[in-house]
Structure 1
Amino acid sequence: MGTRQQPAARTAEGHPPGAAARAARRRPHPPRNDLPRDVPDFTGRQAELEAVLDAVASSRVVSIDGMAGVGKTCLAVHAAHRLAADYPDAQLYIDLHGFTEGREPLGPDPALRTLLSALGTPSEKIPQEGGIEPLAACWRAELAGRRAVVVLDNAANAEQVRPLLPGAGPSVALITSRNRLIGLEEVPPVSLDVLSPEESAALLARASGEPDGREGRLAQDPESAAEVLRMCGHLPLALRLAGARLRHRPGWTVGVLAERLAEGGSEFDTALAMSVRQLDRAQRRLFRLLGLLSGSSFDEYVAAALAGLPLRDARAMLEDLLDAHLVQQPAAGRYTLHDLVHQHARRACEEQDSPAERDQALRRLLGYYVHAAAAADAAMPHPSGSRPPTAGPAPSALPRFAGKHAALAWFTAEYANLMGAFELAIALGADVHACELPRFMRTYFARRCGTTHLNALFERAVEAAERLGDPWRLAEAHSDLGFARYNAGRMAEAAAAYETAAPLVAKTGDLRSQADLLMRRGYLSWEDGRGDAPLDLFRQARELYERAGCREGAAHATAYEAWAMLQLDRREEAAELAREVLAIDYDDPAWPAGLTALITLGMALADEQPDEAAAHLRRALDLARGDGHRHNEAWCLNCLGVALRRMGRHEEALASHRQAFTLLDELFEEQWKVHFLDAYGETCRQAGLTGEALRLHRQALDLATRMGHRHKEALAHEGIAAVLEATDPAAAAEHRAAGQAIRQDLELGA
């Protein structure tokens, strides 16, 4: 008893039965550092910098306020870089978009989820319900044991930022806002004014490429230089823009620069308009179109798609805009616009580009994200694949992904933009884009475990498919919605979605889609505790994959067929099928089918050939670790524990189980625990640790009851009965009867 396990963590089409889409998470890597690049020409502000650092030392939180363009973000980022060595566990940055034109301020809920994700918090540990306070408590708890510095940039008000502040512990936060955050009485403020005349002159000199200030154009015409400082309002951003113009115009005198500035309006708009006027027509058009973006960072591929340019031209233009200080580069290959610059570009686009031109640019952007997501998805391991994207023509250039880790990195960097693209598709009525984008993110979500967002996406994708009236898209959308429901542990809703999808998928005549749905229904059928039903479904899926010429899908179905046979104690047949999968030459040794086959083979051989069995299981464990799949690593450790117990090596088995549960505790993986507790408890019982065994089985009973997992509830009752048999036979009989009653109910409902 207690040896029944679940198969290895799967990709979007292949996850372990009973585990709600638990996917691979990487091993710990160097601490996260999201800080933008420290400006090389940071000038002055010595007193303000000291005030910020003193406030951090005494209160751990400081707010920096001041007018737009006065250099709040530069000061906060500069201070954060200074603090990084003393706060080595993480350096985080988030733009709260408190004053970004055309975009609502980022609410505490998405802000906390973004920060928790950046901190590496497993999504299973992040509360999905209960409002802001549980999220804020989770954030504070995650920071409590770390030394991290967090920059909360561009806050609208105290209410937006209060839930994001660290609690007990050493971590610190630096807040910037145009407003004085009076509601944060406990947070010391540092207010920025414009630069002093001396600081302004030094910054203009550095931005102009004349840092010594003794023999250059500024020194030769001090009156005009003073007029430039005055017209720039001593604002750092305006000074950098004006200085960049002078640096890139060696034939200008400072008097010419002052004359051009005099043609403008406000201090900032004057400098900005002058910089924009120096661009050529194509550069000005790209600058305007960048105002249509949401305000998040972007790359050269996005710029090329938005403007309909070749990648080389977009890259060159971005470099020109960067030199002109019209775009910023927070990290290599990523660009963003200062809020004021973004507002200027957006207004210019609305004034100078027709509604039709703006709509075409946005639809090119949507098409890019669908096609880029499809390219990234193609680099991820999954058994059947998706149909090629049809949402608009392919852009002129797409990123190339060397493998799944590069694809995962792209999805992570572009996550906010992808979510924004989906919302834009809904707003524009681009239903084809709204249907296709979530499909190409399924495998990413399976690894990321973002079940809440995945469900929301597919719910709306179903609505989009219904509006299109496309039977194929509707069939896919219902099948995917069932997958999302299953990932979230909503088994009854998953079954209902699959029931809706089945006749629609059959009508398409597409063999791969039919096979995908059979596999998904096979995973779901594990929940009733019977091995024969999923075995039949996996066999049917294998046949359809083979008929469709889908080699990877057929291997995946075969691996699960082997696992189902193992659960029916048909070990020789299971081992034979597992060897069949392992004989396939596949580029990625950690591909899901191969990993499942390795574990199946190890479990099948544990009694008769223990040395070979242990070798297969340890090989699977090494692959999971090397691939960064912490969930798969925990699963492999638990299976190794079961195999070692069957070999009579109880101490090694217990050590393996304990390692697995240490990982699960770190990942806050409750749903996986319910699948592992029974096996761990049985190992403890056979090792003579009856008290620990009883605790584990009772924990399993509690979890299974709360989750509505009847089969695991029955196993937990039986495990308790086995432990109590020698000391309390009456109680053991009650638990055994309870388990038997549940099994009878399941058989009647099958």
Structure 2
Amino acid sequence: MAALVSLRPGEAAMDPARPAGAPEGPPDPGTAHSLPELIGCLRALKIWAGDPSYDTITRRVNARWRAAGRPDHELARRGTVVDCFKGNRRRINTDLVLAVVEALHDETGYLAHWRQALRVSLAETTAAAQVRVLDHLPDDVAAFTGRQAELAQLRRLATVPVDTAAGSGRGPVVCVLAGMAGIGKTQLAVHLGHLLVAEGGIDTTFFVDLRGFHADPGQPPAEPAAVLDGFLRLLGVSGHEIPRGLAARTELFRAHLADRRALVVLDNAASADQVRPLLPAGTGTLTLITSRRRIADLEPEAHLEPDAHLDLGLFTAAEAEQLLVRSVPGISVGADPSARQRVAQRCGHLPLALSVVAGQMAARPGWTVTDHADRLDERHRHRRLDTGVEIALHLSYQNLSEPRQALLRRMAGHPGPDLDVHACAALLDADPQSTAGHLRQLGAEYLVQQPAAGRYVLHDLVRAYAGDRAREEDRPADRRAALTRLFDHYLYSAAAAMDALYPAERHRRPTLPPRPPGDPRLDDPKTALLWLDAQRATLVAVCQYTARNGWPEHAVWLAGLLYSYLDNGGYPADGLTVHAEAREAARLLGDGAAEATALTNLAVGHWQQGRFADAIEQLERALPLFRRAEDIRGEARVLGNLGVVHSTSRQYEMSATYHRQALERFVQIEDRVGEANTLTNLSEVSLRLDRPEAAIAQLQRALTVFRELGHGGGEATALNNLGDAYVLLGRYADAVGHYDQALTLFREVGERYGETCVLNGLGEALSGLGHRDAAIARHTEALALATAIGRLEQQARARTGLDRLTEPPQ
């Protein structure tokens, strides 16, 4: 692919080593609109820079990384550098790509340009599909041991007065806890957080695992924009109100925390770039960052005092022994008084290894500490295991029952961020009750963690170990069978949840084979929505994994099932992710109708993001595919969406034509939901064309269908639009009657935007009736609600109504 280039003002003359014919300016990554195009741009940059060898690029990258303090085991290999230039990649190491760009053209502004282009091309979807944020801390460790000096230092920093530009008082404080894997960084941050919360110094808490060093390459470091999306939702901001850009999300997040005493724990951070947008700026906020690297260069976003960066080391011998005593206080020492010292030494004084061995001691009540020390010594003599973690994990694993060993191995293969008991039962091919018992025992032995109630994860070192064991002990066919059961579980559970939430749209979703038993019951809408919200990140990750690793039908089905949930919930990035994966999976299957469905769903996502040309392009690709498959419902949906996009672009006559064509097809196949939705959309176009009588006829017809189907959201929308039409006709009393019904329905379903529209409509109708005070009250309510949810157009509508009602008479 020939990459586009742009000349930069003031660029130096071409390097004599540069090949003849190479462009004078470096290629512009902003011209890339997809990952393959961006990789093509990277290849063009290599040529522009004189086409250095991959060995040379690798040496340059590693020289910079060594200077920045990276340990040798994290340095780049030639093969991974070569992979950055392969055009068929669907996943990319952004950290390494930026390092390669810097090695080829060391210019700060150009590197920032690449960083932005990477975010745009990747659409922040991979990380958005896998990041989970919490509004509480994980459970504290009952036997928390040591770190007294560090705790004292952190507590002092958390309460020290700091001068800020706004005046005196404790300003935003950031503390960084750095150290090797398993050193206890997260436990220290969580323990401190629980102490501060218990003392009443915190009123808002956030916790997120940023996955800076995850063992699974399919779970890359979390994108800041995706983390902010989760934080804002926990703060009560709906998906439709969350801005698209990273800077705008950071600004909104900081505004919400401006007057709060907030604790933000950013666990397992990869770099300053990752955490900088996530830092609150309000006086009284405390951010704890944990990382395997030193994190600096956070100014001006954060106040980072010279002693706010703690490098955690191994436990002292005394701390290591204390942890063993506190974790298993009743165990006998045995014949060797120094047995605890031997155990601590074999564990390398590493807190994670010590915790694992302590769990093993608790699980074997007949053993003394001496017995465990002897076993560790024996293991060390007969196995080539150098670290305490590996020894501890292997001994703990050996002492597990076969089902628990199998569960641990299979959990390591799960593609999502965490699991619940039903997913674990599917992996193990067992019932949830017995699986819950296995999980409790694995948790007691510190092999499984539970960051939130009912959610289970593996520490990245445990995951890496269990993954190795799976590859050694399980046949590939058995591993695939376990994953197939897992993906079936997510598929059928998602189908049940969608049936409960959107029963009137069941006929529009993929038809699955008969459902197997054992999945959770998701019969009522509230339970279904809670399940979908809890599993969203996992479902998107599963869709990605199945599309790329040999389960294309699962990807197509799952994306089709989730469409309405992601669309109505305001998750455009996740929607673009799953539908893009579904399109590729459909092409692998040679299923034209499935590909057209994915293209249509992608078009809706592009339309929601204001990319109308992209939306029209996707829809125009989908239309012939549906027609070739003789899929009339799909064809009708494409035509209806073309009508919506052209209406947004103010091409109302063209929009009306598309809507009428869609309506004909929905009526032909007796799709009543499609018919009513299209009538509602067509009525909005009729109002734009100043045809209120036509709009009223269309809406009354739609209202009848929605009521027959029990579709409350559709009924409320039709009633609101009828109110708008009656206002245009001057029939204000009729308008008020319809608005009142719509307001009741919107409030029942918690649809705040619809409520805002109705309140403004009521203000206009009441004004027409001469009820000035009531009209002012409604517009005032609308303005407050529109401001709370960030809907600028409804804010403007409310202010216009208030200005008209409060201006002095002429």
TM range (shorter): 0.7 to 0.9
CA contact (8 A) 2:415 2:545 kept: no
Structure 1 residues 80-116: Cα deviation after superposition (integer angstroms, max 9, x where no partner) = 1223364655311111222221233334444444444
User: What letter is aligned with 1:243?
Assistant: A
Q: CA deviation at 1:468?
A: 2.5
Q: 1:474 aligns with which of 585, 595, 605?
A: 595
Partners of 1:470 and 1:437 in 2: CA distance: 15
TM-score (norm 2): 0.71
Change (3 A) 1:518 1:250: same
Q: CA deviation at 1:342?
A: 1.5
Q: CA deviation at 1:237?
A: 2.7
Structure 1 residues 594-619: Cα deviation after superposition (integer angstroms, max 9, x where no partner) = 21233245456668986675454234
Q: Does 1:285 align with 2:402?
A: no
Q: Hey, what does 1:683 align to over in structure 2?
A: 801
Q: Hey, what does 1:568 align to over in structure 2?
A: 691
Q: 1:217 aligns with which of 327, 332, 346?
A: 332
RMSD value, Cα = 3.7
Superposed, 1:411-560 pairs within 5 Å as 411-527=532-648, 545=666, 548=669, 550=671, 552-557=673-678
Partners of 1:39 and 1:112 in 2: CA distance: 28
Structure 1 residues 44-100: Cα deviation after superposition (integer angstroms, max 9, x where no partner) = 433322221212223621112233323211111121122336465531111122222
Superposed, 1:378-417 pairs within 5 Å as 378-381=499-502, 383-385=504-506, 389=510, 397-417=518-538
Q: CA deviation at 1:659?
A: 3.1
Q: Hey, what does 2:174 align to over in structure 1?
A: 61
Structure 1 residues 553-584: Cα deviation after superposition (integer angstroms, max 9, x where no partner) = 45545655666777632287467536634753
Change (3 A) 1:386 1:219: farther
Partners of 2:662 and 2:506 in 1: CA distance: 14
User: What letter is aligned with 2:708?
Assistant: I
Q: Hey, what does 2:244 align to over in structure 1?
A: 128
Partners of 2:478 and 2:703 in 1: CA distance: 58
Change (3 A) 1:38 1:622: farther
User: What letter is aligned with 1:106?
Assistant: A
Change (3 A) 1:609 1:569: closer
Structure 1 residues 225-257: Cα deviation after superposition (integer angstroms, max 9, x where no partner) = 443344334433333322222222222233322
Q: Does 1:251 align with 2:366?
A: yes
CA contact (8 A) 2:619 2:638 kept: yes
SS of equivalent residue, structure 1 residue 489: coil
Query: Which moved further from structure 2: 221-230 or 470-479?
Result: 221-230
Change (3 A) 1:343 1:221: same
Change (3 A) 1:42 1:386: farther
Partners of 2:269 and 2:416 in 1: CA distance: 14
SS of equivalent residue, structure 2 residue 206: strand
Query: Aligned residues, how many?
Result: 648
Q: Hey, what does 1:70 align to over in structure 2?
A: 183
Q: 1:596 aligns with which of 717, 739, 752?
A: 717
SS of equivalent residue, structure 2 residue 505: coil
Partners of 2:670 and 2:419 in 1: CA distance: 38
SS of equivalent residue, structure 1 residue 584: helix
Q: 2:704 aligns with which of 576, 580, 584?
A: 580
User: What letter is aligned with 1:69?
Assistant: G
Partners of 1:341 and 1:524 in 2: CA distance: 49
Q: CA deviation at 1:467?
A: 3.3
Q: CA deviation at 1:152?
A: 0.8
Partners of 1:585 and 1:423 in 2: CA distance: 34
Q: Hey, what does 1:41 align to over in structure 2?
A: 143
Q: CA deviation at 1:139?
A: 4.0
Q: Hey, what does 1:272 align to over in structure 2?
A: 393
Q: Hey, what does 2:749 align to over in structure 1?
A: 627
TM-score (norm 1): 0.76
SS of equivalent residue, structure 2 residue 265: strand
Change (3 A) 1:133 1:535: closer
CA contact (8 A) 2:603 2:619 kept: yes
CA contact (8 A) 2:134 2:208 kept: no
Q: Hey, what does 1:371 align to over in structure 2?
A: 492
Q: Hey, what does 1:106 align to over in structure 2?
A: 222
Q: Does 1:205 align with 2:325?
A: yes
Structure 1 residues 594-649: Cα deviation after superposition (integer angstroms, max 9, x where no partner) = 21233245456668986675454234324323433222222222222232222222
SS of equivalent residue, structure 1 residue 217: coil
Partners of 2:654 and 2:784 in 1: CA distance: 33
Structure 1 residues 450-504: Cα deviation after superposition (integer angstroms, max 9, x where no partner) = 3344335434433433333212212312322332232223334333433333343
Partners of 2:346 and 2:607 in 1: CA distance: 62
Structure 1 residues 94-142: Cα deviation after superposition (integer angstroms, max 9, x where no partner) = 112222212333344444444444444455565535xx65554454444
Partners of 1:419 and 1:685 in 2: CA distance: 47
User: What letter is aligned with 1:42?
Assistant: F
Q: Does 1:227 align with 2:347?
A: no
CA contact (8 A) 1:438 1:461 kept: yes
Q: 1:93 aligns with which of 202, 207, 221?
A: 207
Change (3 A) 1:379 1:193: same
CA contact (8 A) 1:108 1:160 kept: yes
SS of equivalent residue, structure 2 residue 352: helix
Q: Does 1:644 align with 2:746?
A: no
Aligned residues with identical type, % of pairs: 34
Q: CA deviation at 1:174?
A: 0.5
Q: CA deviation at 1:378?
A: 2.4
Q: Does 1:240 align with 2:355?
A: yes
Query: Which moved further from structure 2: 567-576 or 467-476?
Result: 567-576
Q: Hey, what does 1:717 align to over in structure 2?
A: none
Partners of 2:704 and 2:417 in 1: CA distance: 48
Change (3 A) 1:258 1:651: same
Change (3 A) 1:305 1:582: closer
Query: Which moved further from structure 2: 104-113 or 67-76?
Result: 104-113
CA contact (8 A) 1:62 1:189 kept: yes
CA contact (8 A) 1:368 1:394 kept: no
Partners of 2:629 and 2:416 in 1: CA distance: 41
CA contact (8 A) 1:43 1:202 kept: yes
Structure ranking higher on relative contact order (CA contacts 8 Å, 6+ apart): 1
Query: Which moved further from structure 2: 330-339 or 307-316?
Result: 307-316
Query: Which moved further from structure 2: 557-566 or 444-453?
Result: 557-566
Partners of 1:543 and 1:401 in 2: CA distance: 35
Superposed, 1:154-193 pairs within 5 Å as 154-181=268-295, 183=297, 186=305, 188-193=308-313
Query: Which moved further from structure 2: 327-336 or 301-310?
Result: 301-310
Partners of 2:738 and 2:203 in 1: CA distance: 36
Unaligned runs of 5+ residues in structure 2 are 1-132, 161-171, 299-303
Q: CA deviation at 1:151?
A: 0.6
CA contact (8 A) 1:200 1:236 kept: yes
Q: Does 1:296 align with 2:417?
A: yes
Q: 2:152 aligns with which of 50, 62, 79?
A: 50
Structure 1 residues 495-520: Cα deviation after superposition (integer angstroms, max 9, x where no partner) = 34333333433444445434434543
Partners of 1:394 and 1:221 in 2: CA distance: 58
User: What letter is aligned with 1:150?
Assistant: V
Partners of 1:255 and 1:115 in 2: CA distance: 48
Query: Which moved further from structure 2: 652-661 or 66-75?
Result: 652-661
Q: Hey, what does 1:741 align to over in structure 2?
A: none
Change (3 A) 1:534 1:356: same
Q: CA deviation at 1:349?
A: 1.9
User: What letter is aligned with 2:562?
Assistant: M
Change (3 A) 1:155 1:245: same
Change (3 A) 1:295 1:564: closer
Change (3 A) 1:176 1:496: closer
Partners of 1:559 and 1:159 in 2: CA distance: 46
